[in-house]
Each structure stands twice: as structure tokens, then as C-alpha cells.
């Protein structure tokens, strides 16, 4: 049995992209949305753990939550055929 590898392509700047199934984008969007929600309601211990893990120069938890939300929305839009 052979495993089909994802299609790899590049844009005009040479950035590589891998094709994924639309259904997978929807699943990733769901997971990222759940993670965003969980982190947004994190207990103080989790927020402190994040700060200890990333240090002073690492991304703030609020910034990570913001990015996760944007990724989730973008993936859901792509899954639904929106730009």
C-alpha cells in the first residue's frame, strides 16, 4: 500500500506550499478555535506557566490567542470557499 504525499507547489516568491484536503482545514479551524477559547479563559496558573515558558522576549499569551483566532477564521473561510 502506498501513501499519497501532499502536493507541493511554490508561489512567485519561491515559498513552498502543501495542498491539504478542505475537510482537514475545517478540522484544524475547529481545533485552533477550541485552543483559542481555552487559552482565553485560562486560569492564572496557565498564564504564569506560559510567561515562564516563553520568557521576557517570547510572545505574550494575548498575542498567541489573537493569532489562533485569525488562523481559525482564515481556515474556516478557506474551507467554505471564501477568500
Question: pLDDT digits over 32-73, tens only?
Answer: 999 999 999 999 999 899 999 999 899 999 999 999 999 999
Paired with 8 in beta bridges are: 18
| 61 or 3, which is more confident | 61
| 23: Cα separation from own chain's centroid | 15
What confidence category does residue 83 fall into, taking pLDDT thresholds of 50, 70 and 90?
A: low
CA dihedral for 19, 31, 42, 67, sign (positive or negative): positive
| pTM, entire model | 0.70
| Residue 72 contacts residue 29 (beta carbons within 8 Å) | yes
Question: What local confidence, expressed as pLDDT, does residue 8 receive?
Answer: 79
| Residue 49 contacts residue 38 (beta carbons within 8 Å) | no
Residues sharing a CB contact under 8 Å with residue 46, sequence separation 6 or more, in sequence order = 39
Question: What local confidence, expressed as pLDDT, does residue 6 receive?
Answer: 65
Amino acid at each position: 500500500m502506498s501513501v499519497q504525499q501532499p502536493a507541493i507547489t511554490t508561489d512567485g516568491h519561491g515559498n513552498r506550499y502543501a495542498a491539504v484536503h478542505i475537510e482537514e482545514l475545517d478540522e484544524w479551524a475547529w481545533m485552533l478555535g477550541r485552543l483559542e477559547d481555552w487559552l482565553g479563559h485560562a486560569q492564572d496558573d496557565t498564564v504564569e506557566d506560559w510567561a515562564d515558558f516563553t520568557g521576557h522576549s517570547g510572545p505574550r499569551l494575548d498575542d498567541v490567542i489573537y493569532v489562533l483566532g485569525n488562523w481559525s477564521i482564515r481556515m474556516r473561510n478557506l474551507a467554505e470557499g471564501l477568500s
